[in-house]
Amino acid sequence: MKKALVIGGNGFIGSHLVDGLLQQEWDVTVLDIQERRFGPMPAAARFVQGDLSQSYLVRQALAGTDVVFHLAWATIHEVANRDPAADIHVNLIPSLHLLEACKEYDIHRFVFVSSGGTVYGLPQELPIAETHPQEPINAYGISKVTLEKYLHMFHHLHGLEYSILRPSVPYGPRQNPLGRQGAVAVFLYRVARGLPITIWGDGSVTRDYFYVSDLVDGLIMAAEHELNIHRIFNIGGSEEISLLRLLQLAEETVGRKAVIDYQPARKFDAPRIFLDTQRARQELNWQPKVSMREGLAQTWAWMSRTFDANE
């Protein structure tokens, strides 16, 4: 039985990854500073409560591990921009300590969730392939791509096997609709309650949204597949969707009209993101399975059950 350590395994993406690994009969340990927010953690998973700054807990969790999935990132785009030094302190430095520990414990593979929406910066061409220049325009993307470079260094110097996923914008159940990230969850929740939705700019900003189970498939494939020359893979949706189109789909899903609050565009938002996923399709045998309408319906069904019961 393969043993995984999922760092950040109680968050939105991490909790789905833990469930997916358990379904495939992995032995799973979760390292997270908080408990799972929406529903209990499966009894089969082991929970170590703490963060990467607690080196003794990290080493305890790494013992006997085959694959490390690193999903924990303590900042979002606008927060990282306000204090880039703090972003380095809370994200990059603990991650480097983690790589050092993985080297010591002879981890078989390190899977890192980077960012397909920020590491490339302003797109020079669409769709965006992994070979596109990496010129991030926010601190979040800079710290993500920096850890990518350190992974390459650790592989070259110490033989640490790794793979990197650069996801576009995943969505689905357990994404917090009260947070500042996650347009799909926020739109559904606020449309349903008649609350104003902030649109930064004119609503023409595009992303290739995709359902969280498709990201879980990519993560597990990145852990299991034999790697050749490529170790970095874009993961995203099959279509480019503007914010206004997403809002229209949310209205159709919920059955209500939205209240829109337009605000000036933000400089750190790339105007268009649409990732080229051919490498993942060809080398990992990955492809998105859940359509946008189906994913929205499943997310709305979960949200209706969860928040109607709690409010």
Domain around 245: 175-207+238-273+291-310
- Residue 281 inside a domain? The answer is no
- Residue 22 inside a domain? The answer is yes
Instruction: Specify the number of domains making up the chain.
Output: 2
- Residue 285 inside a domain? The answer is no
Quick one: pLDDT at residue 309? 44
Quick one: pLDDT at residue 77? 63
Q: CATH number of the domain that 298 lies in?
A: 3.90.25.10
Quick one: pLDDT at residue 296? 98
Residue 311, pLDDT > 90, answer no
Same domain, residue pair 33 and 163:
yes
Same domain, residue pair 228 and 248:
no
- Residue 158 inside a domain? The answer is yes
Point out which residues pair with 272 in neighbouring strands: 206
Task: Share the mean pLDDT of the chain.
Answer: 94
Stretch 168-174: mean pLDDT = 97
Same domain, residue pair 254 and 107:
no
- Residue 216 inside a domain? The answer is yes
Q: Answer left, alpha or beta for residue 28, where phi above 0 means left and psi between -120 and 50 means alpha.
A: beta
Higher pLDDT, 74 or 251: 251
Q: CATH number of the domain that 75 lies in?
A: 3.40.50.720
Question: Which residues are annotated as catalytic?
Answer: 140
- Residue 278 inside a domain? The answer is no
Same domain, residue pair 141 and 81:
yes
Stretch 225-235: mean pLDDT = 93
Higher pLDDT, 204 or 83: 204
- Residue 187 inside a domain? The answer is yes
Same domain, residue pair 231 and 300:
no
pTM for this model (two decimals): 0.96
Quick one: pLDDT at residue 307? 87
pLDDT tier at 76 (50, 70, 90 boundaries)?
A: confident
